[in-house]
């Protein structure tokens, strides 16, 4: 895997909107907050565009990504927000260009498709972490900021345990030890890559999954899709992150399995080492996870440890 250079304060971070649109106010707030954190900022054209539910036409959003990687003045890239749209541009990216210009790349949710594609096609380590508009513009809490810095700053990033904030306990689903590079993100996007040239490869990997706003039967369907495609069998271990608002619909509880029952039926039954309630995903505070970095999942202690520096000096 190609590791990007770690950032230092004073570096330039490019903001791009590869999925859904935001507002000018949030773009400017993101700019102010990143500057207050000690970075220079370059804003991509997509951040000010709107094309229905997309931040501009596909060609524009793809060009923003390619241009930010090619731009020698840009040291790292953060996505403005998720929403929907990254699947539409996977075949418009220049992965050879990206591979010879590796940079810190940060985002989550719909950005999962880009994480998987950049990992697969460019061999790049990327970062599942806070985005500009929903997180940084509002002011990052200290835990989320420290976790981000511990992943992307050259003087801070290293190996070590990824720990939950406060009293949040990691749940052990299946005991056992597993090692591999971490890949994954949002469950809906992971499943959407199946059958495409960007299909997630889980051989020798630790699969990380998070989700938001999906009822248990939909989680059931997507996990079974992964199971029937042989992906859960391929994975060395499974890390379950935040599943926000994934409970049965109000008033429908007696007609639904719980999320925990779905996990038991599908994940627990395959016997792979698995931990849950890792606070990464659509949650605050959030852990930044280096995707493509080797890690060790301990299903006895509930610990997740990064075994190699995700960045280079």
* 54-109 confidence digits (pLDDT tens): 999 999 999 999 999 999 999 999 999 999 999 999 999 999 999 999 999 999 99
Q: Look at residue 171 in the predicted model and tell me its pLDDT.
A: 97
Q: Look at residue 51 in the predicted model and tell me its pLDDT.
A: 98
Asked if pLDDT for residue 155 goes beyond 90, the answer is no
Catalytic residue among 109, 147, 151, 192: 109
Mean pLDDT score across all residues of the chain = 96
Structural domain count, the chain: 2
Both 141 and 243 in one domain: the answer is no
- Domain range for 190 is 160-306
Q: Which of 130, 134, 96, 88 is nearest to 113 (CA)?
A: 88
Of the residues 88, 118, 152, the one at which a domain ends:
152
Q: What is the pLDDT of residues 229-239, one digit of tens each?
A: 999 999 999 99
6: in domain: no
3-state secondary structure of 196: coil
193 Cβ contact list (under 8 Å, min separation 6):
87, 113, 116, 117, 199, 200
Both 76 and 180 in one domain: the answer is no
> For this structure, is 144 an active site residue?
no
Tokens of 275: 């931990």
Both 146 and 222 in one domain: the answer is no
- Rounded-to-integer distance, Cα 309 and Cα 152, Å: 10
Q: Look at residue 38 in the predicted model and tell me its pLDDT.
A: 97
Q: Which of 215, 219, 210, 213 is nearest to 249 (CA)?
A: 215
Q: What is the pLDDT of residues 197-211, one digit of tens each?
A: 999 999 999 999 999
Both 126 and 173 in one domain: the answer is no
101: in domain: yes
Both 168 and 80 in one domain: the answer is no
- Rounded-to-integer distance, Cα 218 and Cα 227, Å: 14
> For this structure, is 109 an active site residue?
yes
250 Cβ contact list (under 8 Å, min separation 6):
none
Asked if pLDDT for residue 251 goes beyond 70, the answer is no
Tokens of 88: 């539409």
CATH code: domain of residue 183: 3.50.30.60
Q: Provide the pLDDT confidence category of residue 44 given band limits of 50, 70 and 90.
A: very high
User: How many other CB atoms are found less than 10 A from the CB of residue 242?
Assistant: 23
Both 148 and 183 in one domain: the answer is no
Catalytic residue among 30, 144, 147, 210: 210
> For this structure, is 151 an active site residue?
no
Q: Look at residue 255 in the predicted model and tell me its pLDDT.
A: 86
């Amino acid at each position: 895997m190609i590791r990007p250079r770690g950032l230092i304060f004073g570096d330039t971070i490019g903001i791009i909107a590869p999925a859904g649109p935001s507002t000018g106010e949030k773009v400017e707030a993101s700019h102010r907050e990143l500057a207050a954190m000690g970075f220079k900022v370059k804003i991509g054209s997509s951040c000010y565009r709107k094309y229905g539910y997309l931040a501009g036409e596909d060609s524009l959003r793809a060009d923003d990504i390619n241009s930010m990687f090619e731009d020698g003045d840009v040291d790292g890239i953060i996505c403005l927000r998720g929403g929907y749209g990254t699947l539409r541009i996977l075949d418009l990216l220049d992965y050879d260009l990206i591979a010879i210009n590796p940079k810190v790349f940060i985002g989550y949710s719909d950005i999962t498709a880009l994480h998987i594609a950049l990992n697969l096609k460019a061999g790049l380590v990327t970062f599942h972490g806070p985005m500009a508009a929903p997180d940084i513009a509002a002011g990052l809490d200290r835990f989320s900021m420290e976790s981000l810095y511990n992943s992307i700053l050259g003087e801070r990033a290293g190996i070590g345990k990824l720990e939950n904030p406060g009293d949040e306990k990691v749940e052990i689903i299946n005991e056992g030890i597993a090692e591999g590079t971490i890949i994954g993100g949002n469950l809906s996007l992971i499943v959407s890559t199946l059958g495409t040239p960007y299909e997630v490869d889980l051989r020798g990997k630790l699969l990380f999954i998070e989700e938001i706003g999906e009822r248990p039967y939909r989680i059931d369907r997507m996990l079974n899709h992964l199971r029937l495609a042989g992906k859960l069998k391929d994975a060395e271990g499974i890390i379950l992150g935040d599943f926000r608002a994934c409970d049965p619909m109000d008033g429908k509880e007696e007609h639904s399995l719980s999320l925990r029952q779905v996990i038991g039926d599908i994940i627990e039954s395959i016997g792979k080492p698995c931990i849950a309630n890792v606070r990464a995903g659509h949650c605050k505070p959030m852990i930044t996870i280096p995707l493509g970095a080797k890690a060790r999942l301990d299903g006895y202690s509930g610990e997740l440890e990064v075994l190699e520096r995700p960045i280079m000096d």
